[in-house]
């Protein structure tokens, strides 16, 4: 797996996962929406820890800075 997520993207994903967890544990969300958002939060955490997003890969997107190669 080639990394395609930069550190800012990783932090945003973790913060979104934490926000979803906070909403769940404070009983702001429940039922089906809680399940869907919970799965999304787990995906956000997993992709942020491995720095790889399969959707970005499929769409040929990368948030990493392109390093310039010197001749």
Q: The dihedral of CA 18, 55, 50, 6: what is its sign?
A: negative
Q: Is residue 29 part of a domain?
A: yes
pTM for the full predicted model: 0.83
User: How many Å apart are CA 7 and CA 57, to the nearest integer?
Assistant: 17
* 10, 52, 71 from 1: Cα distances, Å: 16, 7, 27
pLDDT digits (tens, 9 = 90+) for 16-68: 999 999 999 999 999 999 999 999 999 999 999 999 999 999 999 999 887 53
Total domains in the fold of the chain: 1
Residue-range definition of the domain harbouring residue 31: 7-58
Q: Does 69 fall in a domain?
A: no
- The upper half-sphere exposure of residue 32, i.e. CA atoms within 13 Å in the direction of its Cβ, equals 0
Distance CA 36, CA 29 (A): 10
């Amino acid at each position: 797996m080639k990394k395609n997520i930069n550190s800012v993207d990783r932090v945003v994903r973790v913060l979104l996962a934490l926000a979803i967890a906070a909403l769940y544990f404070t009983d702001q969300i429940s039922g089906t929406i809680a399940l869907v958002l919970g799965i999304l939060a787990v995906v956000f955490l997993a992709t942020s820890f491995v720095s790889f997003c399969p959707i970005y890969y499929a769409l040929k997107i990368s948030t990493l800075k392109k390093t310039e190669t010197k001749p």
